[in-house]
Structure 1
Amino acid sequence: MGSQATRGYRGPPAARRLDIVLQTPSRKTHTSVLPGLFAAAMAVVLALAVHALLPVLSPAVVAVAAGAALAASGGVGERLLPGLRLVSKRVLRVAIVLLGLRISVPEVLAMGWRTVVIVLVATGVTFVVTPLVGRRLGLSPGTGLLVATGVSICGAAAIAAMRDSAGGDDEDAASALGVVVLYGSAAIIAVPLLAAWLGLSPAQLAVWTGAAVHEVAQVAAIGAASGVLAAAVTVKLGRVILLAPIVALSARARPGAGRPPVVPLFVAGFLAMVALRGTGLVPESVTAAVPPITDVLMAAALFGLGTGIDVRRLLSGGRALLLGGIATGLIGGIALVGAVLLIP
């Protein structure tokens, strides 16, 4: 992959950038990561500042948009790539591991069997059906699987976690990332408006939001504005737990994948952190510090991934956007019907 990324590459420029960004850094480049790390740090500062001014825009969404904007302006030079590679792979995996400390298993289990059923059905159906629809639309299997993962689990972080297991190329990852961020951001406005129009109760809104909206931060934004923050985020974290088994099963099921580990190492770390949090041994001061730390790390990583998005290609592609809309409508519709029928 490395030789293709640096010599004789004939694919789209955005795919070439993302291909280089996602390579594992070598020791020979350790002195050249600073420009890319500095760019990522500036993007994180921007993302946090925008989020402070406009809480409905999560740092992750702002960071992805900043990366895509930098790429569109032609500002992703060769000097930035080693640092972007570092944040897009290693920093991202650390963030996903730490994400496990944000999940309280007792709180998730306390959601009740009705909510658990809604989450499992909405997530499972969307994850299975979306790749099938993608094939009908003529999209690659990698694009379908990555869009399915991002929509059904937890947005951009899920796409990044699934990328190595999906068997897709870098254009697949960039398309899925852009699509999920686009529809997830639109949900921040659409979900509260639709909930008010439909006359949903606070409990129904919390379950619908947590079971259907892509990013944790987007769920938090809707929940905070609607007064259902804790319940909505708890339901959402019930979906996040499903990231580990879905990534592990996809890695083992992919043809030609050889003999992958039972779970990727960072996914095992994620599960270990969930288990550690469940023991009750983690001090409250630590669990309180984890969310802002993971937000910063995730924003840096997603900025790096965002530099691989070709906005013009995404908007003109049509089929990936259509698939994202279908998947978003599917999970939103199933979760809404379940909330109305099962949640008082």
Structure 2
Amino acid sequence: MKSGPVAQDELTAAPTPPSAAARLDGIGAYLPGVALSAGVAAVAMGIRHFVPTLSPLLVAIVVGALVANLVVLPSSFGPGITFTSKKLLRVGIALLGLQLVLSDILGLGWGVIAMVVAIVVLGIVGTMFVGSLLGLSWTQRVLIACGFSICGAAAVAAADGVVEAEEEEVLTAVALVVIFGTLMIPAIPLISNALGFDETEAGLWAGGSIHEVAQVVAAGGIIGGTALTVATIVKLARVLMLAPVMAVLSVKQRRRTVEQSTTSKRPPLVPFFVVAFLVFVAIRSTGVVPAGVLSVASWMQTALLTAAMFALGAGVRVATIKKVGIRPFILAAASTVWVATIALVGVLLV
């Protein structure tokens, strides 16, 4: 029989590190879901070459929702789809910073910049207030408020990375962004025409009120070339607000964690992907990045976000939407009208 000290040494010995084969097996668990998401992204991006006005992100979300409700995927796809909807999505959000040039946003003028800040801040505050009246959870309100006030599904996912919402809350918010943002695509051009707006005014309103970047591009394209340019810059200015809003949410979440005395890990003051987003904005704004690199980065960002949108859509099940009830839909409708109204007042004042 071995002596006591030897047995103790055996107990305290460092665990054997996993072999290369074990690590490969771990990676392999993600491959089916990631490959499926990448394949759908490739098809969705290919469709855009034939229908330039059709956003691959929206196509991917719809395909994901159809797959979720019409096909039973093997469980082996689950880990990779989850990885794509969380980790790869955050990389795509960070790369979104390379689309932003601070000089373009400053070129809008301080009046328009103030309008953008008001849309995001008042949009979030108003949505949170109405959501509280409806009795929705704090996390559900945060997801809808950020998605509708900043930049759609990407903002929903970014907020989820900070506040750790329930999965059904995330999927509901994403579905609502798709539904109400898509309805805005024909609505804003029609109402702008009825109000007698010129292309610049209509572009300001579209960029200030519609949820997704892709939806803004679609609406701006319907109105005209000038409107498309203005709408895109205004929308990207709203995207830039993602960084300070996530920082504020992170501080709020840390306080909630302390108040609730939970053992869960407190989020960082500023999530890493938000820091990366700001770094990419700064790099792009210097003007030193070659056009070829920006083109590749833009393609990668679109591909990652498209794959992630499919992965998010794959979790949107009709049964889940029915389960959450009518209250999130009421909040989404109210938030859409509220944000559009703030933007409209801003256009009239500017």
Q: Partners in 2 of 1:249 and 1:80 — Cα distance?
A: 35
Question: Shift of the alpha carbon at 1:28?
Answer: 5.1
Task: Find the counterpart in structure 1 of residue 331 from structure 2.
Answer: 323
Task: Find the counterpart in structure 2 of residue 299 from structure 1.
Answer: 306
Residues 170 and 27 (structure 1), Cα distance of their counterparts in 2 relative to 1, 3 Å cut: farther
Question: Shift of the alpha carbon at 1:334?
Answer: 0.9
- The aligned length equals 317
What amino acid sits opposite 2:102 in the alignment?
A: V
Is the 1:76–1:307 Cα contact (8 Å) retained in structure 2?
no
- C-alpha offsets along residues 50-91 of structure 1, whole Å, 9 cap, x if unaligned? 434444431111111111111112423211112112211221
Is the 2:88–2:308 Cα contact (8 Å) retained in structure 1?
yes
Residues 179 and 315 (structure 1), Cα distance of their counterparts in 2 relative to 1, 3 Å cut: farther
Select between 271-280 and 27-36 the one with higher mean Cα deviation.
Answer: 27-36
Is the 2:100–2:281 Cα contact (8 Å) retained in structure 1?
yes
Task: Find the counterpart in structure 2 of residue 84 from structure 1.
Answer: 81
**Paired residue secondary structure (1:42):** helix
Larger radius of gyration: 2
Task: Find the counterpart in structure 1 of residue 344 from structure 2.
Answer: 336
Residues 333 and 243 (structure 1), Cα distance of their counterparts in 2 relative to 1, 3 Å cut: same
Task: Find the counterpart in structure 1 of residue 15 from structure 2.
Answer: none
What amino acid sits opposite 1:334 in the alignment?
A: I
Task: Find the counterpart in structure 1 of residue 102 from structure 2.
Answer: 105
Is the 1:183–1:325 Cα contact (8 Å) retained in structure 2?
yes
Query: Within the alignment, does 1:188 sit opposite 2:172 as a pair?
Result: no
Task: Find the counterpart in structure 2 of residue 283 from structure 1.
Answer: 290
Q: Partners in 2 of 1:57 and 1:186 — Cα distance?
A: 14
Q: Partners in 2 of 1:259 and 1:293 — Cα distance?
A: 31
The equivalent position to 2:149 in structure 1, one of 144, 147, 152, is: 152
Task: Find the counterpart in structure 2 of residue 130 from structure 1.
Answer: 127
**Paired residue secondary structure (1:330):** helix
Select between 154-163 and 292-301 the one with higher mean Cα deviation.
Answer: 292-301
Select between 45-54 and 193-202 the one with higher mean Cα deviation.
Answer: 45-54
What amino acid sits opposite 2:152 in the alignment?
A: G
Task: Find the counterpart in structure 2 of residue 240 from structure 1.
Answer: 239
Task: Find the counterpart in structure 2 of residue 161 from structure 1.
Answer: 158
Question: Shift of the alpha carbon at 1:27?
Answer: 6.8
Is the 2:126–2:338 Cα contact (8 Å) retained in structure 1?
no
Task: Find the counterpart in structure 1 of residue 230 from structure 2.
Answer: 231
The 5 Å alignment of 1:23-42 reads: 29-42=26-39
- C-alpha offsets along residues 276-302 of structure 1, whole Å, 9 cap, x if unaligned? 111221112222333332111101011
Task: Find the counterpart in structure 1 of residue 268 from structure 2.
Answer: 261
Gaps in structure 1 of 5+ consecutive residues: 1-25
Residues 89 and 145 (structure 1), Cα distance of their counterparts in 2 relative to 1, 3 Å cut: same
RMSD: 1.8
- C-alpha offsets along residues 246-271 of structure 1, whole Å, 9 cap, x if unaligned? 11110111200664322111111001
Task: Find the counterpart in structure 2 of residue 71 from structure 1.
Answer: 68
User: Which 4+ residue blocks in structure 1 deviate beyond 4 angstroms?
Assistant: none
- C-alpha offsets along residues 163-215 of structure 1, whole Å, 9 cap, x if unaligned? 02224211110110100111111111111111111111111111111111111
Q: Partners in 2 of 1:250 and 1:125 — Cα distance?
A: 15
- C-alpha offsets along residues 21-47 of structure 1, whole Å, 9 cap, x if unaligned? xxxxx8753112222122112211332
Query: Within the alignment, does 1:252 sit opposite 2:251 as a pair?
Result: yes
Residues 138 and 27 (structure 1), Cα distance of their counterparts in 2 relative to 1, 3 Å cut: farther
Q: Partners in 2 of 1:165 and 1:333 — Cα distance?
A: 28
What amino acid sits opposite 1:270 in the alignment?
A: F
Residues 136 and 147 (structure 1), Cα distance of their counterparts in 2 relative to 1, 3 Å cut: same
The 5 Å alignment of 1:8-47 reads: 29-47=26-44
Q: Partners in 2 of 1:88 and 1:259 — Cα distance?
A: 22
Identity %: 37
What amino acid sits opposite 1:63 in the alignment?
A: A
Is the 1:220–1:233 Cα contact (8 Å) retained in structure 2?
yes
Is the 1:29–1:82 Cα contact (8 Å) retained in structure 2?
no
Select between 37-46 and 311-320 the one with higher mean Cα deviation.
Answer: 311-320
**Paired residue secondary structure (2:257):** coil
Is the 1:314–1:321 Cα contact (8 Å) retained in structure 2?
no
Residues 123 and 150 (structure 1), Cα distance of their counterparts in 2 relative to 1, 3 Å cut: same
Q: Partners in 2 of 1:145 and 1:56 — Cα distance?
A: 30
